[in-house]
Chain A
């Protein structure tokens, strides 16, 4: 089975812009979760989608949003980018809740 894929792998944006990241889960997995990884805050949960519905959300401002499509592919959007949004954004897929999550290679976002 193909693993979790994320596009793009690298992205450079300017403050105030918006960005959309994409994630394709492992075939058959209906849950997609997003995490932010920074040197200062570590790995933090952003949100999870299951069958096109947001099931859980972490403690991030409303500038961070996401959605999931009927084929389980997911996108996350960050509007009005800030320098502090520079991070590695990781997507993970899982067959069911509380099962192991398999991570993609991540998207490295740099905000200048």
Chain B
């Protein structure tokens, strides 16, 4: 069965600090996709990144970076030099290719608060 675990329920950092959000997943499928979404107070989920199971290269996009390690079934997300606008709930999600469909399994989310 599939499962996504985000052990950190809430994190608070001071502006300009770096912060890493952890995500551990479980799946029996050999082909799968991992995602990160941001949910600001407005409620709308904002897509951040999609990564397939065959691509373990780390990715950097501005202040955001992602570390995907199949050996530890982890897909961690780091924000460098955090800003107040980064305050939101962040969700990690998994989609399995065997379903052939858009069915995202979400973690419980990590609420990030950036203190000015």
B43:A105 contact, CB within 8 angstroms:
yes
The interface size bin for chain A is 20 to 34
Q: Is the interface of A mostly helix, strand, loop or mixed?
A: strand
Cβ contact within 8 Å between A100 and B47: yes
* Binary contact readout A59-96 vs B (1 if CB under 8 angstroms, 0 otherwise): 00000000000000000000000000000101010100
Asked whether, in the complex, the Cβ of A55 is within 8 Å of the Cβ of B104, the reply is no
Residues of B in contact, count (CB < 8 Å): 25
**A101 beta carbon closer than 8 Å to chain B:** yes
Query: Across the interface, which residues of B come within 8 angstroms of A104, CB to CB?
Result: 44
CA distance A31 to B100 in the complex (A): 12
With most chain B CB atoms within 10 A of its CB, the pick from A50, A58, A92, A100 is A100
Task: Tell me the bound Cα distance from A70 to B107 in angstroms.
Answer: 33
Q: Which of A42, A50, A94 has the most B CB atoms < 10 Å from its CB?
A: A42
Q: How far is the CB of B12 from chain A (nearest CB, A)?
A: 20
